[in-house]
Chain A
């Protein structure tokens, strides 16, 4: 092996990593600059908090989705699960804040079960993740609507409003919840051995098995994480909005996948960071804000979104190819 080749190769891989790492942050920064140019007050603390508050529910879902995509999966059931979790939470008709832990516990357990079923279908029955979670989305929707008969009702303790829309010494509470999970899951993915197992499983499931990793177990856990995040996000969103709605979170299944891709997580698994995924979520939310700031009709948002998706994803694959 001659050293020149090694050094060249090293340089190339460095450069490659540098480029991919910066695509998402640079896209985000350019959006922020555009917004600031259009609206100088954009960078005020208040507004940043506001945007983070808006982004928190999506970002939470994205955290989970990232895990699933890293192990070569896809979770289309997240949005449906968000609404189902919200409906389940109101089913208690609780009014006292003392019930909050109970509501949380029950919702979380139920969400985890959904993830477990998704994971089992994908691993043990080899169902394509796309279809398994799509079917799960429809089933959840059916159960939810059957229970509510289309018109959700029931009430939540006041504490939920604090969770979704309240502030703790000026900092939005749902943002704190997001950061809590961001740190926990970030640690899990990037610092713990479970995270390493996720990358190994996503990168090469066959070798994962051969080095003694129970790949199926890792994949199932990823689906459970995704469902948990969706469930929690559903609770937060219901607290944010104040009323339950059978379609809470509609569209988040696609948006969360798009956010992951914008943040540099490869759909083929095994590559990408949680930080990137969250950046992707912020890009989406910012885009939405800019459209409003510009006073454009909401439809324009669709067009801009489409262009950004193709453009940024194209940058990623370009930087990987060359």
Chain B
């Protein structure tokens, strides 16, 4: 179906793709794997015509491809779901699904009626119900991802590329997506699938191609491989223990952080829990359960309507990020680029940002000390950077995330909130980050970790709260921390609110 021959793509200073040859057949799901920055997305963009390769040829259906823009690829029957959502917030769901190819009336005007009907039909096929006239900006991220997927079902698709489509949707929706993918495959569509979640690869992929540092490692049938081998191909070494050993802290009498009846409309409803020093408290739940909002409400970056937050037995109810930081909280957000890093600034400035006043002297900012601190953190977290003065925009995702760890471990003394700390990060970097988290807990920080990846919740947390629709619906501990139990709380109706949560609250 599609064959790439000796493709190279060079960005200033980076050889994103280095003589990569690769082929995907009609009627197969071909997984594309590799660490962050391996060049997967670049490869996709070369296929879509968004990037022009510096070298090499693309053959589509045996013929040399001619397109030089996404429009050309689209016309040829290639549909791509990009890693970043490609949606227009001010247009309706239906308009987004049919962007550029809306049904027309006789006069060449858009036939809105037909468009709405067909949009509903497509969403039906995905088993996902959204108001097709609603503006996309009013949807949650999961719904938005489904709209993105629905776009692929418009028109005749010969080659479908999905770049990390499940990063933000829940298990149930992922299941439906996989069913559709399999259906399409059986209809003879060629599918290229990218994901960092290895379980998914094993459940749907037929063949796997691994990239590393812009170079092709190998293409294999999935049946030839097991998990460890695959990881070995990706990181170039064997990874035995992904998660560090758990260490249950001795239960102190007073929690470092106690939340009572916290409400932050519309997403967070009546949340109460305790967090103890030295523990890694996981918050699990489906996307849209309100976990991020809970974290924001705790940190003071969205307003709370009621409830109390006690830190070290001291109530603080006038929350603002500044106040929270001053009291020893840290918050590593889920959106690394949008809410985390300052892309135009260097690493040292990124690290010192929350505690600038510490570096302030009468003569201004103490640059020397700032750089020294950055050096320490680079050393501590083994961040692969040339110097503390280099920019963060050129770093790989994993290293960017480590810079954020560097920032918050400098600033934070009591509680560190982590929201999806490993989202979009490759396995190698993940392992390092798990170790960092473990180490921080051992050093006495209370860690609140939100994650949508159940394996990592199970693998690293010493206690887990489960959220659904803004409420905490369950708490599990010790040997109870298994995927089945967590999923049960995350999905079933509220009669299953356990006594576990009560136990915590009694003090």
Contact = CB atoms under 8 A, between A and B. Distances in A.
A–B proximity contact (CB within 8 A): yes
B321 A199 contact: no
Given A191-B363, A193-B357, A196-B349, A9 B331 contact: no
A45 interface: no
Contacts of A207: 338-342, 353
A5 B399 CA distance: 13
Contacts, number: 115
A310 interface: no
A199 B349 CA distance: 10
B321 A2 contact: no
B333 A191 contact: no
A9 B354 contact: no
B365 A6 contact: no
B359 interface: yes
Given A11-B13, A13-B13, A210 B345 contact: no
Interface stretch (A36-44, A211-219, A291-299): A211-219
Interface in A81-107: none
Contacts of A212: 320-322, 324-326, 354
B390 interface: yes
Contacts of B253: none
B396 interface: yes
Given A1-B399, A9-B13, A210 B344 contact: no
Given A8-B14, A13-B391, A1 B384 contact: yes
Contacts of A305: none
A9 B363 contact: no
B394 A209 contact: no
A209 B340 CA distance: 10
Contacts of B353: 196, 200, 207, 211, 213
B162 to A, nearest CB: 26
B360 A193 contact: yes
Contacts of A1: 37, 384, 396, 398-399
Contact of B342 (A10, A13, A199): A199
Centre residue among B301, B365, B387 by max chain A CB count within 10 A: B365
Interface string A201-239: 001101111111110000000000000000000000000
A214 B325 CA distance: 13
B342 A203 contact: yes
Contact of B12 (A12, A191, A197, A211): A12
Contacts of B100: none
A304 B353 CA distance: 43
Contacts of B12: 12, 16, 322
B137 to A, nearest CB: 16
B343 A204 contact: yes
Size class of the contact patch on chain A: 35 or more
B390 A10 contact: yes
A270 interface: yes
Contacts of B384: 1, 3, 6
Contact of B339 (A7, A199, A210): A210
Contacts of B183: none
B266 interface: no
B364 A187 contact: yes
B419 to A, nearest CB: 11
Contact of A203 (B343, B357, B363, B390): B343
A192 interface: yes
A12 B354 CA distance: 29
Centre residue among B213, B342, B343, B360 by max chain A CB count within 10 A: B342
Given A10-B386, A196-B356, A203 B13 contact: no
A45 to B, nearest CB: 33
B333 A210 contact: yes
Contacts of A209: 301, 321
B385 interface: yes
Contacts of B364: 187, 191-193
Contacts of B333: 210
Centre residue among B12, B320, B349, B363 by max chain A CB count within 10 A: B12
B287 to A, nearest CB: 20
Centre residue among A6, A8, A214 by max chain B CB count within 10 A: A6
Contact of B14 (A5, A195, A203, A322): A5
Centre residue among A11, A207, A208, A213 by max chain B CB count within 10 A: A207
22 contacts: A1-B396, A8-B14, A9-B14, A10-B386, A10-B394, A191-B363, A192-B364, A192-B365, A193-B360, A196-B349, A196-B353, A196-B365, A199-B342, A199-B349, A203-B342, A203-B345, A204-B342, A207-B338, A207-B341, A209-B301, A211-B321, A214-B322
Given A13-B394, A207-B340, A209-B301, 19 more contacts: A1-B396, A5-B13, A5-B14, A8-B15, A9-B390, A10-B390, A10-B394, A12-B12, A187-B364, A196-B352, A199-B349, A207-B342, A209-B321, A210-B340, A211-B411, A212-B322, A212-B325, A213-B322, A270-B344
